[in-house]
Amino acid sequence: MERMDFASADDGAAAHPARLSVAIVGLGSIGGVAAGCLCDADRHDIVACARRPLDHLTLERIDGTVRLPLRTLTNPDNAEPVDWVLLCTKAHETESAGRWLRHLCQPSTRIAVLQNGIDHAARVAPFIGGATVVPAIVYYNGERLAADHVRMRHVTDYDLAVPDDVSGRAFAQLLQGTPFRVLLAGDFTTLMWRKLLINAVANPMTALTRQRQVVLRREDIHALCVAVLDEAVMVGRADGADLADDETQQTLATLLTYPPEVGTSMYFDCLAGRPLEIDALTGAIVTAGERHGIATPLNRALLTLLRAISDAAK
């Protein structure tokens, strides 16, 4: 049985945590929201590591909009080791973030990897020395409206999930005072695969059709999603995930609770002509299928099409 505990970041019953140094690498939709929420809480010393300098960040939430001062670094050589790193780049940008990680991490550092996919620790291992990895699943919807303006939407009962261990609980404590609701999961592997299943259809379908999640309500797209998910569920079970008999139906039911006007990261990247995070999503399913001897023809077809789009962007 999967054990899940809910940790509210606004829980005032816990002791006020010590003020820590936190570096956020990647100031896109996910990193921008994380930076804004942490700066607004003002419980830690925040620095954003980004390509361009910003002196403020506007965070738009359902309860209002705030304009916050922001300290940024643009040169990894100027970075110093911190208590926490939040890696918020796309998975395929991890290598390019390596210089930041080498300067920010030391053995006592914890690095929360807020990325898609199922191989968080292996992805960052070459760059972090002896730092401790905290894999994190992101559920909140972040949208970058401008370089200095992000919007946060809550789309499920929790915003982030981490393993229910010492480092996972430390991450939940780090976010106290912010709007983030953190799920502590006993069976993190299953949660990773469930998030991957959502991404396996939401991202490719919105990117290829260049439509927001309203497209998932089309009958023909819905049928295609069922077939894609059936392949992926077989692979997930072989990879150790405890997926239900009706996992495909549950995944699509979850997707249909999201507002139809919500876009996916791959949709926004496709419109902007940026490389796509396809290898960490559909590519992870195809690779795991090969590892377990399970054919994934539909996922492979999506991977081929999206790689062609991504390669053209490069």
Residue type, 134: V
C-beta separation of 199 from 281 below 8 A: yes
- Structure token pair of residue 185: 């999961």
> Which is the catalytic residue, given 43, 110, 195, 212?
195
Starting at the earlier edge strand, list the strands of the sheet with 45-49.
4-8, 181-185, 160-163, 132-138, 110-114, 84-87, 21-25, 45-49, 72-73
Walk across the sheet containing 56-61 and list its strands: 64-69, 56-61, 149-153, 141-146
Check: CB of residue 138 under 8 Å from CB of residue 132: no
Give me the phi and psi of 77, to 5 degrees please. -65, -20
Q: Which two tokens stand for residue 33?
A: 């929201």
Amino acid at 105: C
How many C-beta atoms lie closer than 10 Å to residue 279's C-beta?
17
d(CA 2, CA 80): 39
Strand partners, 163: 185
Active site residue 90: no
In angstroms, what CA-CA distances link 45 with 24, 72, 198, 201?
Answer: 11, 12, 34, 38
Instruction: Kindly report the backbone phi and psi dihedral angles of residue 164, in degrees, each rounded to the nearest multiple of 5, phi listed first.
Output: -85, 75
Asked if residue 134 lies in contact with residue 124, where contact means CB atoms within 8 angstroms, the answer is no
**CB–CB of 24/31 below 8 Å?**
yes
Catalytically annotated residues? 195
